[in-house]
Chains A and B, each alone.
Chain A
Amino acid sequence: MKNKNVIVGLFVVGGLALFTAGMFVIGDRRQAFSRHVEYYAEFVNLAGLTNGAKVRVAGMDAGQVLAIRVPDSPLSRFRVTLKVDEKLRGLVRTDSVATIGTEGVVGDTFLSVRAGSRYAPAAAPLGTLRSKEPMELSDLLDQGTGLLSDVDGTIKQLGGKIDGALTGVTATVSNVNDVVVGLKDGRGTAGMLLRDQALAGQIRQAMSNVNDVTVGLKDGRGAAGMLLRDEALARQIRQAVTHAETATSDLGHAAGQADKLISDLQKRQVPKKLDETIDKVKGAASNIEEGTRQLKQIIAEVAMPDGQGMSAGANIRESLANANVATANIAEDTEALKHNFLFRGFFRRRGYFNITRMSPEKYRRDRVFSSPRNYRAWLAGSELFQKAENGQEELSQQGKGMLNAALTQYGDTAVESPVVIEGYWGGDNPADQLAFSRNRAILVREYLQSHFQLEPGNLGIVSMRNLPPAELGHSKWDGICIVIPKLAL
């Protein structure tokens, strides 16, 4: 009996050991037993991403998709919750970009998070990562088809042009051929030159005539011959030359008068004055040169390498890099402190918390947000919104203008600081109040985010039904209130 017990024990323990091994191998692959950090990413198109899909950080398996929140209108996007192994957390920075990828043509879809840059601070846990919309295979195919049809058109056009050119060349060649054949047959002037014996005889005769004329000229025959031989004509030419001499002496007189004019100008010391001015300009230029030289020297002194042989530029660059890293570290430490239970209360009081986790009731009583010192822009719903064709509310042109005015009033600060959008709905039905006030806040957030390119993390929304925080001069409100907390300004 004892023997049987041992056998059964061995069998059962062996089986359970295999079961445990299986659990661990699969658990390890799905990273069920390691610590994780959660982030969010938002997409318009999920491209088939499902719950439990793999998450890769810089190409390494790092976790999985935990949840996908479906948007309630085309204005918002799918909100994907992803968990990333704590070991890879250092690679996830505020400038990391999340994309949806596919393993090969038939493979699974997965979420890929690109490693961020060195100087960006680490992304906070539960923060929303930047995202890039996925390129679907069908889009690629569409583009490919478009490209091919373009190429096809171009080739067709080119073919037509080459055809025309070839026809031209063929015509030219056949013309040349005709000409050559004509020449060979002695047709036309050139052909005649080549072939006609009678013409050759005429040319020879013409040459002998030319010879005769030349001999006549030599002998002083005819008008041209007379020019070469007549004495009276030579006398007349000499007289003409004398007249030309007289004209030249007149010119000499005119030149003497011009001389006088110039000496008069010299008497008035115009050149001297000009000289003085040029001297002065020279002096000024040398002063400028001296100044530039001194400036150069100063710059060279400043830019001279320091004790360790490091140039000033490099020093400044390194200081900036150090400052950047220090800031990132401080941000990380502060983030950690915020979650530490000893300091949590302090940070709550200072207003460092996640607004999405705050109920409207708590928000109304919060000292930071209900402070009368905050900048608030109260915008009436009747002016901001209009009914769209589908019966839902949408922002009107006038409303967009009002929002732009409200935000630009604070210039750059508003772009960098946290902005809270409170949504209000004036109706009496509590369900409507909740739904529509939230919808309004979402509409405004979408607009501000896309129009001013604001950081998603800086825009918070609260659906306030119809009750603003107390003591702000409005017992009820119907519309939107944009709040920029005082601490941010």
Chain B
Amino acid sequence: MEPGLTNLFEFAGIVSRFGARAVADLFRRPFEGGQIVRQIAEAGWNSLPLVVASGFALGAVMTLHTRSTLVTFGAASLIPTVQALAFFVEIGPLVTGLLVAGRVGSGIGAVLANMRATEQIDGIESLSIDSFKFLVVPGILACVVVLPLLTLFMDFSGLLGGFLSEHAASRISFHLYIVRAFSDFGWSNFIPPTMKTAVFGFVIGTVSSYFGFTTNKGAQGVGQAATNSVVVSSLLIILTDVILIKGIFFVFPEGAL
């Protein structure tokens, strides 16, 4: 087998074991409640302005674009439907995943790598605290919890942005916009796409923690860990998205029309 291919499989194996260990440790005492709350505040609350602002802008831009196309076909009344469907089904979850990978993933990678380089992790270990359980598990759990919630904020701010942009163009009322936006919505357009971001969260948390936790190159390793965290987790999010969408279509066939 090619050495590069072997390395790839080796990396996949190590990261998978890393993730599996985190899942197993989650159900073992002591539960690091304080750490989890701190991480959720860091990953969730602090990402909120970024997510809401990008959602709002994306919603407005999307409406402007779809408007010019749909008006050509005389289907201007479909604008809210198209915009809401696109946002809730794909754009919201994916963009939130990528944004969080950039902001939170790089943070987790850099912090852990820095702690490793400055031997803080060894210090924690010397206090007979399980450093993996104390540092890695709360980070991953926070990502899993935070991502679906951030996605909802992204979806609804996108809807608001879309409404304001459409209101400026056609003076549509808010009520009519909402009615039209959800006129063709099924449960499969809302719940599975939102919940799938929990998987994105797990990917971001695991990959970033892995790069930060296992670096051993001193100060140079900090930068590398941060970069790798963002690049690999973004790539993996898009790949898992493909698999997850296929899975959702399998469970909810009416969503695949």
- Interface residues of chain A, those whose CB is within 8 Å of chain B, are 1, 4-5, 7-8, 10-12, 14-16, 18-19, 21-23, 25-26, 28-30, 50-52, 108
Contacts and interface: CB of A to CB of B under 8 A. Distances in A.
B153 A14 contact: yes
B53 interface: no
22 contacts: A4-B38, A4-B41, A5-B37, A8-B40, A10-B45, A11-B40, A11-B41, A12-B40, A12-B44, A12-B149, A15-B148, A15-B150, A15-B152, A18-B149, A18-B152, A18-B153, A22-B152, A22-B155, A25-B178, A25-B185, A26-B190, A29-B179
Contacts of B40: 8, 11-12
A55 B210 CA distance: 53
Given A14-B153, A15-B149, A52-B254, A8 B45 contact: yes
A356 B186 CA distance: 33
Nearest to B185: A26
A8 B182 contact: no
Contacts of A16: 149
A29 B184 CA distance: 8
Contacts, number: 70
B152 to A, nearest CB: 4
A62 to B, nearest CB: 15
B187 interface: yes
Interface residues of B, number: 30
A51 B257 CA distance: 13
Contact of A7 (B41, B146, B183): B41
Nearest to A30: B186
Contacts of A23: 190
A15 B185 CA distance: 20
Contacts of B187: 26, 30
Interface string B31-46: 0001001101100110
Nearest to A26: B185
Given A11-B149, A26-B185, 11 more contacts: A5-B37, A12-B149, A15-B149, A15-B150, A18-B153, A19-B152, A23-B190, A25-B178, A26-B182, A29-B182, A51-B254
A97 to B, nearest CB: 25
B34 A1 contact: yes
Given A19-B194, A50-B254, A8 B186 contact: no
A26 B186 CA distance: 7
Contacts of B194: 19, 22
A30 B190 CA distance: 13
Contacts of A7: 41, 45
B59 to A, nearest CB: 14
Nearest to A13: B149
B44 to A, nearest CB: 5
B132 interface: no
B37 A4 contact: yes
A7 B42 CA distance: 10
B245 interface: no
Nearest to B146: A11
Closest 5 CB pairs of A and B: A15-B149, A18-B152, A7-B45, A4-B41, A26-B185
A51 to B, nearest CB: 8
B18 interface: no
B99 interface: no
A28 B182 CA distance: 9
A18 B38 CA distance: 23
Nearest to B40: A8
Given A4-B38, A25-B178, A29-B183, A11 B48 contact: yes
Nearest to A22: B190
Contact of B44 (A8, A28, A30, A52): A8
